[in-house]
Amino acid sequence: MTALYEMAVAALGTVAFALLFGVPAIYYPYCGLIGGTGWFVYSMLEKGLSEPASALYATIAVIFLSRIFAVRKKCPVTIFLISGIFPLVPGALVYWTAYYIVTDDTALAARTGFLALKVAVAIVLGIVFVFELPQGFFRFAAKKDKRVLEEKGRKKR
């Protein structure tokens, strides 16, 4: 129950960020689905893996879905990528790093800062891994034009 609740909140946060980012309203449901799915993958994997590994796999899911919806909706992938990655960004870790620096707890600041850096690098690697897949790999997601399907049907007869 908690995982689904977190997924819904992440989806809502993603849609709110998409609104601030200027994404057209017709893409809000897709952005929410992508962001919520990314957080769901992260929260499920976080129980058994480290935070950077969980962030890597969640990022791969987010970017993979972003590329699928970009092909399906014939729009730039950044519409889904930037808002969908929003729940995974290690903002709280950066905040706590700054807090520990201000309170002069350098050991905790170093540990938290290094963890934030590892999560950020994992996110970058996830983006790079999926963007290395050729565009043709995502052609299965393209909508089939009715006219093209009708022409193929006539040729078979």
- Give pLDDT tens digits for 19-52: 998 999 999 999 999 999 999 999 999 999 999 9
Number of domains forming the structure of the chain? 1
Q: Is residue 115 part of a domain?
A: no
Instruction: Say if 108 falls within a structural domain.
Output: no
Q: Establish if 31 belongs to a structural domain.
A: yes
* 13 domain residue, yes or no: yes
Q: Residue 43 burial (CB < 10 Å; 0-12/13-18/19+)?
A: middle
* H helices present in 1-105, as ranges: 2-21, 28-46, 51-73, 78-85, 91-102
Residue 107 lies in a domain: no
Domain membership of residue 102 (yes or no) is: no
For residue 95, being part of any structural domain is answered with no
96-110 pLDDT, tens per residue?
999 999 999 999 999
Question: Domain range for residue 145?
Answer: 2-89+123-156
